[in-house]
């Protein structure tokens, strides 16, 4: 969410400043000339270990101190973790540089390499290393081509390879899916209304590199400091360079097997950072929210209007409007009185629907506010350097910020939720503003008595670049204004967030840990909800994320804009987060900021119905955009959601694969058709799993859309008409229609849709069999109770057709669904059949002839 002024006057101001910042700071002179003076490091010793090698590095000449103080002695650790994963660590021997703690991102020690698919080599006098793919000698990373600089506040290294790199990742950002070959990606979590090509809410130092050989690999840097990552084409070669504000070099190279398949790379990446969580079945339904439902009656009215329009609604959300003076764990006594909220939740649950509340990390500074008083007593808040509590400014006024490193914070956080949820049994928690966001520079609330509200409106954004904390000579000046300036969208790292010289437990600084904040809040909230309901999967949505966040939370793309470019950017954002191990992700349908219009909102509902996380959401002081507002959008939403709810068993199966293996749910076409170079830069279409291709309209005024169909047979979802690849085609797409195609060779378990997912799960199953050119097809399904954290019973079903006009169904597991298989829908050359199966038990093996 954003202050009011961001939608109108300050929106223009901040957007203007962002553009100015892009012009002024995006093209700062690179440090190449200064770095050329640096002598690098020499390898002074080397020894083999059971799992790789260790070595010592010493500064090769005089220190250059280009952006800090050179560190003279470094340690090298090379670990052959698995046959496809190599870890290279370079760190200061005294280990004073901050490293991401294992309890924040558990470090996996595999030590299972038997026949590595990579080769590691090094140079000694001027140290550098090379990682190659063993099968074809392809150089994946060559640090000998880029000078190593290792200082207390600046670490720089990189790779130069004589090949063309096709790079995906390095975000979170609003941009094309394929990174431009000459580009800069800045990583620093930031509260901002999603400006294109700048750093925003998430921090993901991971990229996937697809080479002309058709093989891909991934590179993950385990480091939480702010950084720039530069891509450059250099004389028929490619160069990537990291410029980091500190920490260590902790690189994982992920090869994805001999063939370097992108899906395998992502699966192996999630072996390192953690597998995604398994969402509740109900989380796959349609969600509705807005900032501006000012009373519980307004919320109830929206639910009723959905029902009248017969548009499926699974989850109703409430933004900060429900709070008393914007304070967490409270209800507004007049607009959201407890008895009315409880009555609403009882009715909602009786209708098999759910509710989600928002919670922000900033805690109101007031002695009459129990969460603050208890937090002080338990010493859970971020501090100033002098030991006093750091006070920023967010919605309630002056606020303190939980320190997730402090030993009592988990206990305190859990207590607040326990009390609140006893009275208000909502079904999920939405954690927002957790970059963390603060509307002033520095500890602006220090010295103010508890309960004092800052002058001016809560919507005022206090920006004062002349604040004395940024003057040379003051304590921590280098933390507040480090010598190397990453290309942060704001000039200063501390703009609109907790200042970088604030301290956490154990004398850690915000400078070191800033990008971990949202991730750690997600972990704390997950632990809280599993403490309260240990057998039930938590539902948590977070704005700020870090590698490994997907184990605990889902994500939405933040404060997007009601415009056609952001309709397109929603696709690229979701595809990126599939790579980052956070498959449960979506964008605000119809846009959050600015007024939408009927055509845009129509197209957005058609596309948004297929997001992994599908929610309509917008800001106050924008027009209403619920799908029942316009008749045309009502019909578009119902049509698209009918397809989504029909596919719910397929979606759920895909999330089970993500949970177990890390396989993306949404997939760029190049993930499924890597050998087809045409797919490598396609990001206006996408695959849902291996079997469903979606081709949305992304431009105003169009009644058709161009789509690319890779090799094979494809079947129109609605008409079963065949399309033959590899081909570009113009598809009819009148307003309210989104082209969807099924890949030949696929078997998809579907279920007759109903108003909620609970009701849908009672309906008969249907099986779509889309034959390939040879009459073959296969598929699988996974089912369980949909809510248990660790289901006791589950059911896995494999379907296959081998050209003999028989579907073979093999089931393993004890879970018994409430419905049976009623019919087959057969699509194939010369075939378009609907076969009545006579209600087949899904738990039994069967052979069905068609």
Nearest alpha carbon to residue 190 among 18, 4, 19: 18
Q: Does residue 816 contact residue 844 with C-beta atoms inside 8 Å?
A: no
Q: Per the residue annotation, which of 314, 435, 766, 772 is the catalytic one?
A: 435
Does residue 81 have an active-site annotation?
A: no
Q: Per the residue annotation, which of 84, 432, 510, 772 is the catalytic one?
A: 432
Spatial neighbors of 702 by CB under 8 A, at least 6 apart, are 733
Does residue 510 have an active-site annotation?
A: no
Q: Does residue 124 contact residue 42 with C-beta atoms inside 8 Å?
A: yes
Nearest alpha carbon to residue 674 among 332, 209, 61, 72: 209
Spatial neighbors of 397 by CB under 8 A, at least 6 apart, are 364, 365, 445, 452, 453, 454, 458
SS3 485: coil
Q: Does residue 309 contact residue 628 with C-beta atoms inside 8 Å?
A: yes
Work out whether strand 428-431 and strand 540-542 pair parallel, antiparallel, or are unpaired.
parallel
Structure tokens at 503: 């301290």
> Tokens 């400078």 map to which residue?
511
Q: Does residue 633 contact residue 605 with C-beta atoms inside 8 Å?
A: yes
Cα(598)–Cα(735) distance, rounded to whole angstroms?
A: 10
Cα(148)–Cα(486) distance, rounded to whole angstroms?
A: 18
Spatial neighbors of 79 by CB under 8 A, at least 6 apart, are 49, 51, 52, 86, 87, 89, 109, 111
3-state secondary structure 689-731: CCCEEECCCCCCCCCEEEEEEEEEEEEECCCCCEEEEEEEEEE
Phi-psi group of 606: left, alpha or beta (phi > 0 → left; psi -120 to 50 → alpha; rest → beta): alpha
SS3 658: helix
Q: Per the residue annotation, which of 267, 314, 510, 559 is the catalytic one?
A: 559
Q: 831 forms bridges with which residues in the sheet? A: 828
Q: How many residues does the chain have?
A: 850
Q: Does residue 167 contact residue 209 with C-beta atoms inside 8 Å?
A: yes
Cα(223)–Cα(229) distance, rounded to whole angstroms?
A: 13
SS3 796: strand
Does residue 780 have an active-site annotation?
A: no
Structure tokens at 458: 């809560």
Number of Cα atoms under 13 Å in the Cβ half of residue 400: 30
Q: Cα 553 from chain centroid?
A: 9
Spatial neighbors of 48 by CB under 8 A, at least 6 apart, are none
* Helix axes of 631-646 and 648-661: crossing angle, nearest 10 degrees: 60
3-state secondary structure 217-271: EEEEECCCCCEEEEEEECCCCEEEEEEECCCCEEEEEECCCCCCCHHHHHHHHHH
Work out whether strand 704-716 and strand 722-732 pair parallel, antiparallel, or are unpaired.
antiparallel
SS3 671: helix
User: What is residue 420's DSSP assignment?
Assistant: H
Backbone Cα Rg of the chain: 27
Burial of 354 (0-12, 13-18, 19+ CB in 10 A): buried
> Tokens 């997001």 map to which residue?
611
CA angle 664, 666, 668 (to 5 degrees): 95
List the catalytic residues: 432, 435, 559
């Amino acid at each position: 969410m954003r202050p009011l002024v961001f939608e109108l006057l300050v929106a223009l101001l901040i957007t203007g400043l962002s553009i100015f910042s892009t012009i002024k700071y995006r093209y700062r002179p690179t440090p190449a000339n200064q770095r050329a003076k640096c002598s690098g490091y020499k390898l002074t010793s080397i020894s083999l270990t059971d799992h790789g090698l260790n070595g010592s590095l010493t500064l090769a000449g005089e220190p250059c101190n280009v952006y800090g103080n050179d560190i003279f002695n470094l340690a090298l650790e090379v670990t052959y973790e698995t046959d496809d994963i190599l870890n290279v660590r370079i760190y200061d021997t005294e280990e004073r540089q901050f490293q991401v703690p294992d309890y924040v991102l558990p470090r996996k020690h595999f030590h299972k390499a038997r026949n590595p698919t990579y080769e590691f080599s090094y140079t000694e006098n001027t140290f550098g290393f090379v990682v190659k793919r063993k099968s074809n000698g392809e150089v994946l990373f060559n640090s000998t081509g880029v000078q190593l600089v290792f200082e207390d506040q600046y670490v720089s290294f990189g790779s130069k390879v004589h090949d063309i790199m096709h790079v995906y990742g390095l975000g979170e950002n609003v941009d094309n899916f394929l990174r431009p070959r000459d580009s800069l990606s800045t990583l620093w979590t930031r509260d901002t209304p999603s400006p294109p090509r700048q750093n925003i809410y998430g921090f993901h130092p991971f990229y996937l590199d697809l080479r002309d050989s058709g093989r891909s690999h991934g590179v993950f840097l385990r480091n939480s400091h702010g950084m720039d990552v530069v891509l450059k084409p250099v004389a028929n070669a490619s160069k990537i360079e990291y410029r980091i504000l500190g920490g260590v070099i902790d690189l994982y190279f992920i090869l994805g097997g001999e063939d370097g398949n992108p899906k395998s790379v992502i699966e192996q990446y999630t072996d390192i950072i953690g597998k995604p969580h398994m969402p509740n079945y109900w989380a796959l339904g349609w969600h509705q929210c807005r900032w501006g439902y000012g009373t519980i009656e307004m919320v109830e009215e929206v639910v009723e209007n959905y029902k009248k329009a017969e548009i499926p609604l699974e989850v109703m959300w409430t933004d900060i409007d429900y709070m008393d003076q914007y304070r967490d764990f409270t209800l507004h006594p007049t607009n959201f009185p407890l008895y009315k909220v409880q009555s609403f939740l009882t009715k909602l649950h009786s209708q098999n629907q759910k509710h989600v509340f928002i919670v922000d990390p900033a805690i109101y500074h007031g002695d009459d506010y129990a969460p603050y008083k208890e937090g002080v007593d338990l010493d859970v808040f971020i501090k100033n350097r002098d030991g006093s509590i750091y006070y920023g400014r967010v919605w309630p006024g002056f606020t303190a910020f939980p320190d997730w490193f402090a030993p009592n914070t988990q206990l305190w956080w859990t207590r607040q939720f326990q009390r609140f949820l006893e009275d208000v049994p909502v079904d999920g928690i939405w954690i927002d503003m957790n970059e963390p966001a603060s509307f002033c520079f520095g500890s602006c609330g220090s010295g103010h008595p508890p309960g004092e509200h800052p002058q001016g409106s809560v919507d005022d954004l206090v920006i004062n670049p002349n604040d004395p904390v940024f003057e040379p000579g003051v304590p921590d000046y280098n933390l507040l204004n480090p010598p190397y300036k990453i290309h942060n969208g704001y000039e200063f790292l501390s703009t609109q967030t907790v200042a970088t010289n604030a301290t956490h437990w154990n004398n850690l600084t915000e400078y070191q840990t800033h990008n971990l904040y949202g991730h750690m809040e997600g972990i704390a909230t997950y632990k809280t909800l599993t403490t309260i309901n240990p057998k039930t999967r938590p539902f948590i949505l977070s704005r700020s994320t870090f590698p490994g966040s997907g184990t605990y939370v889902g994500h939405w793309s933040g404060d997007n804009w009601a415009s056609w470019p952001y309709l397109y950017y929603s696709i690229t954002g979701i595809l990126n987060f599939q790579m980052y191990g956070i498959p449960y992700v979506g964008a605000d349908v119809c846009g959050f900021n600015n007024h939408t219009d009927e055509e845009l909102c129509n197209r957005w509902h058609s596309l948004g119905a297929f997001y992994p996380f599908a929610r309509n959401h917008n800001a106050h002081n924008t027009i209403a955009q619920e799908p029942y507002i316009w008749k045309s959008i009502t019909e578009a939403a119902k049509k698209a959601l009918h397809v989504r709810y029909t596919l719910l068993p397929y979606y759920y199966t895909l999330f089970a694969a993500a949970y177990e293996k890390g396989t993306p749910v949404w997939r760029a076409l190049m993930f499924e058709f890597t050998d087809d170079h045409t797919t490598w830069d396609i990001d206006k279409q996408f695959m849902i799993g291996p079997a469903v291709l979606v081709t949305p309209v992304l431009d105003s005024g169009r009644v058709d859309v161009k789509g690319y169909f890779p090799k094979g047979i494809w079947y129109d979802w609605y008409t079963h008409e065949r399309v033959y690849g590899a081909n570009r085609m113009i598809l009819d797409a009148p307003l309210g229609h989104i082209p969807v195609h099924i890949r030949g060779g696929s078997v998809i378990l579907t279920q007759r849709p109903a108003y909620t997912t609970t009701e849908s799960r009672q309906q008969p199953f249907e099986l779509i069999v889309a034959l390939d050119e040879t009459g073959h097809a296969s598929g699988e399904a996974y089912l369980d109770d949909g809510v248990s954290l660790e289901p006791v019973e589950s059911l896995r079903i494999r379907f296959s057709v081998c050209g003999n006009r028989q579907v073979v169904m093999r089931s393993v597991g004890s879970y018994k669904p409430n419905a049976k298989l009623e019919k087959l829908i057969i699509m194939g050359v010369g075939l378009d059949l609907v076969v009545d199966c006579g209600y087949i038990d899904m738990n039994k093996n069967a052979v069905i002839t068609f």
